[in-house]
Structure formats: C-alpha cells, structure tokens
Structure 1
Amino acid sequence: MATKLQHTIEFPFGMAAYRKAISDPEYWSTLAVGSDKAPGELESADITDTGAKIALIQKIPADKLPSAVTSMIPGDLAIHRTVSIEFTSDDRSAGTFDATVNGAPATTSGTIEATGSEKCSIAFAGEVTVRIPLIGGKIEKMIAENMRTLFEAERDFTIAWHDEHP
C-alpha cells in the first residue's frame, strides 16, 4: 500500500524568476552538490526553451540513516531522482518527479504543478511505495516526511539562488 505525498511551497517571486533559476544548469549543479548531510551530484541536465529534464543522485551517509534502513541496505544510501518540467505558459509549468533507491524496494513519484505570475506556488502530489512486509508503511511515512523537508529545503535554496543571481 502506498503513502500519499502532497505538499505545496511558495516563492516570494513569480514564475518568470522561478523559470530563470531552473533553466540555469549551474542552478542544478549547485543544488545537486547538497550538503554534508546529503551530498549529491548532477547526472544530466537537458534544458530547452520549453522545459527541463534533470537527473540527480543524492547520497545519505549510513550514519544518518535509521537502523531499519541500514539493516536492509548496507552503506550509504544513493537516491536517484529525476525531475521533468514543461513550461506550458508564462505563468504555469507542469511536470513529474520520481526517486528510486538502488537495492531497495522503495519508489517515490508524482506530479509538479507551478503557477503564479506575481508569486509562484508549486504543488507536489504523488506517492511513496515501500514493498517490505510489516514495516513498509512506517518507512513510507518517513520517506514522505523527508520528501516534504527536501521540497522546503529546495525552496529555500531557490530563493537564495534568486537573490544571488538577479
């Protein structure tokens, strides 16, 4: 059984500024590097006038993982993420996101809807699935919460990026 994942983030600027940020390959490279808690790398960035297709790898060091995860997956956790966004109009974009973990029966996928000419709002809707008897639901809830935290952190990163790259 899957756990629903829904979250909305808001920006103090409109779609034009959001689109400018996510259309810059350097934005994605810098975002992918992450932090000591979750370092990562940019696998690919295909950015055109009509959208962006991004592939990232984020790593979570084993010492930052709960024992329920490390008992099944030894070592650091590598999360492969893809984001696909289509710029549908000046004040709207739509896309998809997904994440998988090598060696784990866990997936996350969903849609991304961004709107707003004056202030941009992005709604994420999807689900987290962990196919492990008895404890899968508990891990799904943990992953869903971590995804919401990730969306918030990426919002903060984007606002800082916007401020530094007017």
Structure 2
Amino acid sequence: MATRIVHELKYDAPLADVAAMLADPAFRNEVCVDQRATKHSVSIEGVQGDPMKVQIAYSQPTDRVPGFAKKFVGSETDIVQSETWPSPEHGDIHVTIPGKPGELVGTAVLTEKDGVTTETVTLDITVRIPLIAGKIEALIGKIFGSAMRAENRTGVAWLAR
C-alpha cells in the first residue's frame, strides 16, 4: 500500500515561463539551496518535448526527523530525483533514497488559466518496512510537502525577477 500526496504550486506567470524555469539548472540549484541541501548536483539533458531529462541528487540533514525514524535515515539522507518531461505540460517523477527501502513515483502537470500556472505534483510514496511503513510514508510525505513549499517560494521569487 502506498501513501499519495498531492501539492499545487501556483505561479503568477504563463506556462511557458514556468516550464522554462523548471528547465533551468540555475533554478534547480537555487531550490536545492533553499531546501537546506547539504550538497547537491543538477543535470538537465535535452529540452522539453525532446524529452527533457532532469536528475537532481542531494543530501538533506535529518535534524528535524522524529526519533522513531532516525535509525532508518541516519544523520543525513541522500535523495535522487529523476524527471522526464516529454512535453512542457507533463513530467514523470521518480525519487529514490539510495540504500533505503522506499521510493516516490508520480507526475508534475502544468496548467495555465488567465496567465496563472498551476503545477500539480502527485506522488505515491512506498516504503517497504513491515509494521511502520505507514508512519514512515506519512513522514516522507510531510518532508516532501515542506520541500514543495520551499520550491514554490523559490519559483515565485525567481519569476518575479
């Protein structure tokens, strides 16, 4: 069984501008910094519609992780986020936590209405640890929700420049 999270990120900008932002390595680097990544690397190949492939590898401190989860995540967690964008409006997302029994799989969909673009991120979180999988999935959902809010704040500031 998986836990599903859905986040809507709103940008006061046309879809083309938001898609260009998501394709910019400088933006992706800034998001990593704003998400408190202790180290990170960003790789973007191709262009949207080509398809564009994004890979972000980063490490997050776990100082805010509850005690019950510390023994599973350690003092820092490595995360690898891979995205494939066959079009500017749709991206497939796969997030792994190397060495840990879990993953996030889903999509990012961009829609525009009246010059405002909404990025809807839907992720299914799966953790394969008997008995406490649901608690860990909920925790990961909370952490990724916080990460999405940080990305949204970074994007709003980016587009306002």
TM-score interval, smaller chain: 0.7 to 0.9
Deviation at 1:129?
Answer: 0.6
Residues 1:140 and 2:143 aligned together: no
What amino acid is the match of 2:44? A
What amino acid is the match of 1:137? G
Structure 2: gaps of 5 or more residues: none
Q: Percent identity?
A: 24
Could you tell me which of 146, 150, 153 is aligned with 2:147?
150
Matching residue of 1:20 = 20
What amino acid is the match of 2:108? I
Find the aligned partners of 2:139 and 2:73 in 1 and give their Cα distance. 16
Contact map agreement 2:34 2:154 (CA 8 A) in 1: no
Contact map agreement 2:48 2:85 (CA 8 A) in 1: no
Matching residue of 2:104 = 108
TM-score, reference length from structure 2: 0.86
TM-score, reference length from structure 1: 0.84
TM-aligned CA distance change 1:25 to 1:62, over 3 Å? closer
Find the aligned partners of 1:63 and 1:22 in 2 and give their Cα distance. 28
Find the aligned partners of 1:100 and 1:38 in 2 and give their Cα distance. 16
Find the aligned partners of 2:67 and 2:47 in 1 and give their Cα distance. 42
Find the aligned partners of 1:125 and 1:49 in 2 and give their Cα distance. 19
> C-alpha offsets along residues 92-148 of structure 1, whole Å, 9 cap, x if unaligned?
x10111211121101111011111051001112231011111111001011112222
SS at match of 1:71: helix
CA RMSD of superposed structures (Å): 2.0
Deviation at 1:49?
Answer: 5.0
Find the aligned partners of 2:125 and 2:61 in 1 and give their Cα distance. 21
> C-alpha offsets along residues 56-96 of structure 1, whole Å, 9 cap, x if unaligned?
122122433332332134341111111222335xxxx1011
> C-alpha offsets along residues 14-60 of structure 1, whole Å, 9 cap, x if unaligned?
2022122123222223323345x333412421142535311112212
SS at match of 2:110: strand
Find the aligned partners of 2:157 and 2:73 in 1 and give their Cα distance. 34
What count of residue pairs does the alignment treat as equivalent?
159
User: 1:5-44 to 2 correspondence within 5 Å?
Assistant: 5-35=5-35, 37-44=36-43
Find the aligned partners of 2:32 and 2:146 in 1 and give their Cα distance. 15
Structure 1: gaps of 5 or more residues: none
SS at match of 1:9: strand
Contact map agreement 1:33 1:42 (CA 8 A) in 2: no
What amino acid is the match of 1:29? N
What amino acid is the match of 1:53? K
Find the aligned partners of 1:145 and 1:123 in 2 and give their Cα distance. 16
Find the aligned partners of 2:53 and 2:146 in 1 and give their Cα distance. 22
Find the aligned partners of 1:53 and 1:98 in 2 and give their Cα distance. 11
